[in-house]
Amino acid sequence: MRALTLFLLALLSAPLAAQQMSASQRHQYEAIAAELRCPASVNLTVLESQAPIAFELKARIAERLLEGASKETVMTELEQRYGPQIRYRPAVEANTWLLWFGPLGLFCLLVVGVLIGARRSNQTE
């Protein structure tokens, strides 16, 4: 019975904390949750996910905002705990250049290949 009571209290604490937020805190809460990748779901943000870990992360975000932490502080804390992959859009750094600019490079190679192929076919005709 005690475990059930604790479970219900934990389950209800996140929505209660979210209701106590001001409008600006609520906006920050949604912005942070939308920028974080859910560790348990594929291609979902924490805001969109219904996984248990997403509810825990939402509660942690709400708790830290109610304590007065800034968006950057909350994001940094979660990134330190879960690693850089928690961010839905990773920062442009030396180790992520291929991720950001690889598709552009492949597109350029494709265009060059098509132009060379078209040029060769015109020369053989």
Q: How do residues 63-96 score in pLDDT, each as one tens digit? A: 999 999 999 999 999 999 998 888 887 777 777 7
Residue 3 or 78, more confident: 78
Whether the predicted pLDDT of 5 surpasses 60? no
CB contact set of 52 (below 8 Å; sequence gap of 6+): 40
Q: State residue 7's pLDDT score.
A: 54
Task: Report long-range pairs for 7-16 (Cβ below 8 Å, ≥24 apart).
Answer: 13/59, 14/55, 14/58, 14/59, 14/62
pTM: 0.63
Which one of 14-23, 29-38, 80-89 scores highest in mean pLDDT? 29-38
- Reply yes or no on whether the pLDDT at 50 is more than 50: yes
Give residue 3's pLDDT band: very low, low, confident or very high (50, 70, 90): low
**Measured CA angle at 91 (ends 90, 92), to 5 deg:** 120
CA–CA separation, 88 and 86 (whole Å): 6
Burial of 29 (0-12, 13-18, 19+ CB in 10 A): buried
Residue 54 binned pLDDT confidence (cut-offs 50, 70, 90): very high
How confident is the model at residue 19, as a pLDDT? 56
CA 48 vs. chain centroid, Å, equals: 10
pLDDT value at residue 18: 47
